[in-house]
A and B are shown apart, each in its own frame.
Chain A
Amino acid sequence: MDLLTRAGRAARQARGGPASHAHDPARVVFLALFGLVAAGWALVAIDGGQFLTMESVVGIQQRSAALGIVAIGQTLAILAGSLDLSVAYLISLASLVAAEIMAGQDGNIGPAIAAVLVISALVGLFNGLVITRLQVHAFIATLGAALIIKGVVDHLYDGPAGKVPESFQLLGYSRVGPIPVSAMLWAGVAVVAWFLLSRTRLGHRIYAVGGDEEVARLSGIRTPRVIVITHVLCSVCAGIAGLLLAARLGAGAPTVGTDGGYDLESIAAVVLGGTALAGGRGGVAGTVGGVLLLAVLDTIFNQLEINSFVKDVVRGAVIVVAVAVYARRGTRRTA
């Protein structure tokens, strides 16, 4: 009975903190998302349109999927106190590798996917080792990797190349009911990452290393290993996004990653989702919310046919305001 009552008491105590979850940034971002959907509905209605049509809902999901997958990987890197600027070029590279190997043949899909995953993992390994072994700041290390990939891609390609077979293109466009396959892929990646972060030792260590690397080290965690693994996972996510984009384009393209601005956009989505840029705080749920928020914002602007410059200004403002709000919450709590 002792153990049970104790565990029960502990659980009650834990729930005791009434505000403990109201402060959760992930919740804040989803509240903001609902608010935005409501506002969008009203605005579009005033404008004489209909906001949440089947078309727009599918559009939001499809627009989000690639960025969403990259941002999940970015979340892992940022939680560990790192970040990855090489994802955009890696996406381009992955799309080219996939399309070239597939070369329009159904039989090559398997090897192409495997090759993309292996190459992405190697890029992540490179990033992680440069950061941990050579002690280069993640910003510079991954920027360097980005330029190296850019150089290789630019040298070999000056336009779209390769061909993705019809069957693989289904990944980009087909859907089950209102849910596109690409969105399911994104959801799958998100669930795996969430599971990893909350239920595995590695996840706990990622939070520890990002929270305070010295504390983690003194607690017996081999911190370099954790950082390398998160970079491998982050790059693999970028590789998956590259596969998805290749499926959508029907070919590989040397600019598909950079045109989408996936490097900075993914970091913005992570931060918008309440994950601390310095690491150690946040999670996957917030990032999903952040990505959806950006996509809904885009959809509203598209439906209202607003000038795209205004769109960028508003996006920028939203990101800055969101981070300022999180910062205020953070300080108030510790005060």
Chain B
Amino acid sequence: MLSMRGIGKGFLGVRVLSGVDLEVTAGEVHAVVGENGAGKSTLMKIICGVHAPDEGTIEIDGRPVTFGHPIEAQRSGIAIIHQEFNLLPERTVAENVFLGREPVRRGLVDRAAMEEATARLLDELGEGTFGPRDTVKRLPVAQQQIVEIVKALSVNARLLVMDEPSAALAEHEVELLYRLIGRLRDRGVAVVYISHRLREVFDLADRVTVLKDGARVTTLPIGEVTSDELIRLMVGRDLGACFPPRSAGAGEVRLSLRAAGNHRLRDIDLELRAGEIVGIAGLQGSGRSELAKAIFGAEPFTTGEMTPSCPRSVREGVAMGIGLVTEDRKAEGLALRQSVRDNVLLVARAVGAGNRGGVRDLLERVRLSPARREQEVRYLSGGNQQKVVLVKWMTMAPRVLLCDEPTRGVDVGAKAAIHGLMRELANDGMAIMMISSELPELIGMSDRIVVLRDGRVAGTLPAGASEEAVMRLAAGEVG
């Protein structure tokens, strides 16, 4: 019923999708899989009218369509359950379910009809723990997910797109989701199912489409592929990049965690040693960034032990000699409208210590022309911005440096420079923890890879582990 051909899409000159084909037939569950950043979510947003494709055609029942606004996709019978919750916490369940489509009688919103229809849908799902008039923010996350599903069902969708619908659900709730999807399929609804969890893909899907780096690798009936093959299709590529040579060995333990946890993490055991780069792998939502923030003191651990001591705040973290290169440098790492110099001195000024005089030397060390010292950071390229973030921490000569996606959105040349710099810092005796969604980078840089899953350590792999091995641990596929 849905046929997409040659879909391409770019954002600000970065190509996210190119030449992607996708066909979905009525009564089919079609899984779409791929690594982080493979373009799955963008493809889904194109299906449901959030983004318009730059190229390619979309046909529904053989008729070409273009969606300029989500409402047009809705009218064509397409509903989506987004990865992030799309609910208004201050409004009731019924108001959320019928948001934008409130039933009207004599020009007025028919609350009774709205609540009755919502109650009926909740009943159909066997959901008796909350009602249509409950305020959404009072519901636990799993029930909010059910509200999302009810919302999608109430449209009477012919095509339902589910983007990681199980991410927030517990085991028995996933069962409920399975039953639901089965019922939808029987009704002839086409379901596009995006998930990182391969087990769900094999349990549910009729066919699977693999995306990699914004292009379609293949589409296969689920019976013709094994879990291992699927992982290989998702990650298989050449290790094109060259990485700096690893150091001889690790030194003293700079930081260690024992059974540490907080609301997002549980029972984390981890040691960071001087001179070592430890890679942290995991899918989105596995707790990677949360781990960095907890060690740094931004979202402190509440259980377990951290030695030498556990920072209760960012100031304590910095005082302990911990630096954090945040995932989103524009929002959390840099004051974009201030000069390079001001940004470099941000931390040094904040804690009233550090090497303020050596800005010129530090900039030279990262090969950032000192002539640009007074330039506003926002005019720098992504790579140079990231160097500024690194230099910001280098003024403090931290004992432990946590890098969250240090090369995201950075061109190849700057990437190599940042890799080189990180290795140099490690060789100088810094303990580095690196989080990255790019497996080749993670494998190429790390002396050790710790894989997280659902807020726990799923396993530790030695340097040079295969991408398949990392993915298997991250996705929870044993064997």
Contacts and interface: CB of A to CB of B under 8 A. Distances in A.
Nearest to A281: B90
A16 B92 CA distance: 14
A280 B69 contact: no
Contacts of B90: 207, 211, 280-281
Given A13-B134, A204-B95, A219-B100, A6 B88 contact: no
B165 to A, nearest CB: 15
Interface stretch (B103-111, B166-174, B436-444): B103-111
Interface in A221-278: 221-222
A218 B133 contact: no
A124 interface: no
B99 A17 contact: no
Interface string B113-153: 00110111011000000111111011000000000000100
A200 B107 contact: yes
B71 interface: yes
A281 B136 CA distance: 13
Contacts, number: 110
Contacts of B131: 9-14, 16
A215 B108 contact: no
Nearest to B151: A219
A199 interface: yes
Nearest to A280: B90
Contacts of B50: 218
B102 interface: yes
Contact of B102 (A7, A20, A201): A201
A205 B122 CA distance: 23
Nearest to B119: A10
A214 to B, nearest CB: 8
B74 A7 contact: no
A222 B130 contact: no
Contacts of A16: 131
A50 B292 CA distance: 65
A219 B102 contact: no
Contacts of B115: 7, 10-11, 14
A281 B89 CA distance: 10
Interface string B72-89: 001000001010001111
Interface string A150-183: 0000000000000000000000000000000000
Contact of A17 (B89, B116, B134): B134
Nearest to A14: B133
A83 B92 CA distance: 25
A11 B92 CA distance: 13
A225 to B, nearest CB: 11
B88 A7 contact: no
A93 to B, nearest CB: 33
A211 B133 contact: no
A203 B118 CA distance: 20
B111 to A, nearest CB: 8
A222 B134 contact: no
B408 to A, nearest CB: 22
B331 interface: no
Contacts of B120: 3, 6
Contacts of A333: 137-138
Interface in A56-71: none
A7 B134 contact: no
B100 A221 contact: yes
A159 to B, nearest CB: 45
Given A9-B131, A220-B70, A199 B108 contact: yes
Nearest to A334: B137
A55 B343 CA distance: 63
B101 interface: yes
Contact of A211 (B89, B116, B122, B132): B89
A6 B119 contact: yes
Contacts of A280: 88, 90
Contacts of B134: 13-14, 17
A183 B171 CA distance: 58
A106 interface: no
Contacts of B99: 204, 208, 215-216, 219, 221
B86 A215 contact: yes
Contacts of A13: 130-131, 133-134
B371 interface: no
Question: Which of B90, B92, B95, B132 gathers most chain A CB within 10 Å?
Answer: B90
B330 interface: no
A212 interface: yes
Given A7-B115, A10-B133, A14-B131, A220 B108 contact: no
Contacts of A211: 88-91
A137 interface: no
A201 B69 CA distance: 19
A217 interface: yes
A204 B74 contact: no
Contacts of B80: 218
A7 B121 CA distance: 12
A204 B102 contact: yes
Nearest to A199: B108
Contacts of B48: 218
Contacts of B102: 201, 204
B241 interface: no
B350 interface: no
A30 B111 CA distance: 26
Given A6-B123, A201-B104, A211-B89, A20 B135 contact: yes
Contacts of B133: 10-11, 13-15
Interface in B401-457: none
Contacts of B138: 17, 20, 333
Given A207-B90, A219-B86, A201 B132 contact: no
A5 to B, nearest CB: 10
Given A218-B80, A218-B86, A220-B74, 8 more contacts: A3-B116, A3-B120, A14-B133, A14-B134, A20-B135, A204-B102, A218-B70, A220-B101
In order of increasing CB-CB distance, the 7 nearest A-B pairs are: A14-B133, A13-B131, A220-B71, A10-B119, A211-B88, A219-B100, A220-B100
29 contacts: A6-B120, A7-B119, A10-B119, A10-B122, A11-B115, A13-B131, A14-B92, A14-B132, A16-B131, A17-B138, A201-B102, A204-B95, A204-B109, A207-B95, A211-B91, A212-B88, A215-B86, A216-B88, A217-B69, A217-B70, A218-B80, A219-B100, A219-B101, A219-B151, A220-B69, A220-B71, A220-B101, A334-B89, A334-B137
